[in-house]
Amino acid sequence: MDKTYFWIVCLGLGAVTFSMRASFIFLLEYIGIPEKLKPVLAMIPAAVFPALIGPAVVFHQGSVEFLLGKERLVVCIFSTLLCYKVRSVFVTLIFGMSMLFILLYVA
Amino acid sequence: MSKYVFFKGVQAAFSLVPGVLPFGLIMGTLASSSHLEFYELLGLNVFVFAGASQLVALDLINHHIPAVVVIFTGACINLRHLMYSASVAPHTQKLGLLHKFFVSYLLTDQAYAISNLEFERSTYTKADKIIYYTGAGAAMWVAWQLSTLAGYIFGSAALGNMSLDFGVPLTFLALVVPTLKNKVVIIVALSSFIISTFSHAMPYKLGLIVAALSSLAIGMVIQRMSQWRLRRSHG
């Protein structure tokens, strides 16, 4: 791997990420948070995270036959429902991983 | 008093450490299998300090994707930090520059989630809230460094056959579902999910950027349309 290439990515991504984190913290007193921007900001996690989850679970070839190898997708669906109810990262994680293990090793 | 608040923050972070653990292990393992030097992994962990984008970036680097595309993809994944920044900023206005720097640096999904919860309902003073947040943020930083270190050293032995890598999409799921509070956001999430599966085969792995930005655009359009309809019905 080209070292220069790696460090360009590393420092570039680091700078961009830090800028985003620091943006309003440093600039709030100068620009405020435009009203029209607020609903858009709230949409960002919903725009980004499912794009990460999607391919990871839809295309994953698993081993549970009666679910056509898509046990991760199934676990995600149930985990989503649970998360709506409990709103806890910890509980959702435990539930999801447990359900996956059960499907893989017991079913 | 403030030392107590700091450790209360650290304590609050403990409930989220299980989410970081599989993440960090996978990051460390991927770094090891990518033949990254330890100091290169450290570089990512210290300069970027954002798990989701680090995993994707390293994957793209392994596929020799152009640097600009990797940075842009990572930036898209990390767009949510703009939201976190906007949320935390009102509480940081009275702080000095150095303190603002550290608050910014420690702003992760978990630190945001914890502070969001506490900032809304606690009776701490503003100063104490920031100390609480710093405690949580520092704890997350240490947890991240240690779990990636463990993954790097022990490699696939740490993950074994336990399908721990599922912890990564699962953590994302647990982070995004609580934000789905209205119809528009839900449509954005569904669009993102669907588009990303279709755009999966795009070159340079651009599918992620395409899915994220187009679902955001869809959300903005629907938001505008519903505002416009509201204005019309009120005459």
Structural domain spans, chain B:
2-163, 180-235
User: Using an 8 Å Cβ cutoff, are B6 and B132 in contact?
Assistant: yes
pLDDT of residue A67: 86
> Are the C-beta atoms of residues B134 and B9 closer than 8 Å to each other?
yes
Window 45-104 of B: residues touching A by CB (8 A cutoff) are 47-50, 52-53, 56-57, 61, 67, 70-71, 74-86, 88-90, 92-93, 100-101, 103-104
Predicted confidence (pLDDT) at residue B233 exceeds the cutoff of 90:
no
Q: Looking at residues B122-146, what average pLDDT do you find?
A: 88
Name the minimum distance, in Å, from the CA of A66 to any CA of chain B: 19
Average pLDDT, chain B: 89
Q: Which of A71-85, B41-55, B85-99 comes out lowest in average pLDDT?
A: B85-99
Query: A104 CB near a chain B CB, below 8 Å?
Result: yes
Percentage of the residues of chain A whose pLDDT score is greater than 70 = 99
Q: How many angstroms separate the Cα of A59 from the Cα of each of A44, A56, A70, B19?
A: 24, 6, 8, 23
Spatial distance between the Cα atoms of B141 and B135, rounded to a whole number of angstroms: 10
Cβ separation B200–A55 shorter than 8 A: yes
Per-residue pLDDT for B67 more than 90? yes
- Reported pTM: 0.88
Q: What's the CA gap between B196 and B188, in Å, rounded?
A: 12
For residue A54, is pLDDT > 70? yes
Answer yes or no: do B19 and A93 touch at CB < 8 A.
yes
pLDDT category, B158, cuts 50, 70, 90?
low
Summarised one tens digit per residue, pLDDT across range B108-122 is 988 888 877 777 667
Cβ B86 vs Cβ A22: under 8 Å:
no
Cα(B99)–Cα(B104) distance, rounded to whole angstroms? 9
